[in-house]
Amino acid sequence: MFSSSPSFPKLGHTNYNNWAGDMEAWFRSQGLWRLVSGSSPRPVPPKSSTASRGSQTTPESAETSSTSSVQAPASPYTSQGEYEAALDSWETKADRAAGWLWLMLESDQKIHVSGIKDDPCAMWKALEDIFIQRKPGARFNAYDDLFSVRKRENKSLQALINRVDDLMQQIRNLRPK
């Protein structure tokens, strides 16, 4: 794939909204976004691989299998070799994504993801949870910022429109999920 490094500032304590948008676009250009966003989960082994390990039933496994109504997703792989190749590819992409996420953080922000460095999806979610506080006070402040926007004499109309768009995006991000 591509190996160019991102050319935007690292995540600091004040630039999450810009950084997240830039990082998402960069991940998309590298073919890693689906993995980071969680829409491309880890490959599931084929059923034959669990059967070949020996299907001894323990009391614990019998109890959980009979009470569990949630079935694991079916594997699209027909052979163990196919699965292992897909898993290797997925893990390589996950390592690249996690590495880039780590490298694009200022040193004082790395503490937030230091325990989950091997899971890019969890890293992304943890950063989002930290920087986007979906609380009424934060939304009030964002609306207050929006309603107090004024055009300055030395700024262009386009700069005003961009500022309003940025504030509207912040408000959308602060909506409860």
Query: Which residue, 14, 12, 40, 15, is CA-closest to 27?
Result: 40
CA–CA separation, 114 and 118 (whole Å):
9
User: Where are the chain's structural domains?
Assistant: 1-46+74-131, 133-177
Q: How far out from the chain centre does Cα 150 lie?
A: 35
Q: How confident is the model at residue 143, as a pLDDT? A: 92
Q: How confident is the model at residue 172, as a pLDDT? A: 86
Q: How confident is the model at residue 52, as a pLDDT? A: 44
Q: How confident is the model at residue 72, as a pLDDT? A: 53
Query: Which residue, 42, 49, 126, 44, is CA-closest to 92?
Result: 42
Q: How confident is the model at residue 14, as a pLDDT? A: 86
- Model pTM above 0.85: no
pLDDT single digits (tens) 26-80: 999 999 999 999 999 999 888 754 444 444 444 444 444 444 444 556 677 778 8
pLDDT single digits (tens) 110-119: 999 999 999 9
